Amino acid sequence: MKKRNHWWQILVLALLAGAALVWSCGFLARAAAEEQKDPAADEQVKKDALRRALGYDPAKIGENVEKALPEPEKINVPEFEAKPTPEEEHATYLKSQLIQIEEEQKSLATLKADVQKELKKLEEVQTQIDQRLAKEDQATELKVTRLIAIYDKMRLDELAPVMEKLPEDLRVKILNRLKEKKVGQLLELMDPDTAAKTSKLLLNKKSK
């Protein structure tokens, strides 16, 4: 019985000794790890923890500084245009001259069209005048023919006073259609001044 208790005591002591050995090894390992840590890194960790505790955030401070700083003024840099070359200036001049010539040609074309319209109107008016004159000439010719038929039957002493009262143009037309012998006799019976003017008009008409 004493031997059995003795062995149990030895077993318990062995277990306790093993546990003590395991704890000692763990403690030595933690101590070695603590010794290998960077003191500066540990110090930085402590500082960061302190800053967080005080509400200090470097990122937010940077944002606040940026907001507080005024925005940089915008500088307007003047734009410099490249000076055209002589060839470009000459080409620009030629182009402007061409545009001016085209505008003048358009103006001339418009003016020509207006002139043609006016000429057409004048031609129409002239045609109307010619038609009217032709009708008047026909009427005058018919009148002269009828008068000649009447005057040819009258005696010369009766016809002479009638011829003196007629308009010059009508008198010349009638006398120009009569025989020359009869015309000479009529002129002798007419007023000398009227006869002289009528003779002159007859000569001019025959010369034409």
The pLDDT tens digits for 44-70 are 666 666 666 655 555 555 555 455 555
**So what's the pLDDT on residue 65?**
46
Domains (range + CATH), the chain = 118-207 (1.10.220)
pLDDT in tens, the chain (208 residues): 545 555 566 665 666 666 656 555 555 556 555 555 555 556 666 666 666 665 555 555 555 545 555 565 665 655 656 788 888 899 999 999 999 999 999 999 999 999 999 999 999 999 999 999 998 888 888 888 898 888 888 899 999 999 999 999 889 989 988 888 888 999 999 999 999 999 998 888 776 6
pLDDT of residue 21: 62
pTM across the whole model: 0.38
Per-residue confidence (pLDDT) for residue 2, from 0 to 100? 47
Alpha carbon of residue 113 to chain centroid: 24
Phi, psi (deg, nearest 5) at residue 107: -65, -40
**Virtual CA dihedral for 116, 117, 118, 120, nearest 10 degrees?**
80
Task: Show Cβ contacts of residue 168 under 8 Å, excluding neighbours closer than 6 positions.
Answer: 197, 198, 201
